[in-house]
Homo-oligomer: A and B are copies of this chain.
């Protein structure tokens, strides 16, 4: 694992600080939404692992890099291999079109960081 700061770690740190500030706003609706969001990816009729992959593809076609990074990490931690994640991103590319390509580039850079860290278990050949 690299000891120098990386964009993924910066995202994680900022995300943590800002989410705490959002909780501290003490708005009941927002707190309930965040709670609902967390529960969405727990095991249900579908395993939580599958739903993380659904969250990743939804984030990719809606073209949100922060959401992509978050779900990439969750997918890697859930045990999806790089090949499986890339195959999911291909669905997003075909559904969403070439406008998704810059987010594909972003996702591949994040996957590399997850590989370097060891979060992504199965390195691509």
**Which residues of A line the B interface, CB within 8 A?**
14-15, 18-19, 21-22, 25-27, 29-30, 32-34, 36-37, 39-41, 44-46, 50-51, 53-55, 57-59, 61-64, 66-67, 81, 83-84, 86-102, 104-105, 108-109, 112, 124-125
Given known A-B contacts A58-B61, A108-B18, A94 and B91 have beta carbons under 8 A apart = no
How many Å lie between the Cα of A115 and that of B33 in the bound state? 25
Copies in the complex: 6
Q: Which residue of chain B is the closest to A19 with respect to CB atoms?
A: B105
With a cutoff of 8 Å between Cβ atoms, the chain B residues found around residue A59 in the complex are: 95, 99
Tell me the minimal C-beta distance from A116 to chain B in angstroms. Answer: 14
With a cutoff of 8 Å between Cβ atoms, the chain B residues found around residue A30 in the complex are: 86, 89-90, 93, 104
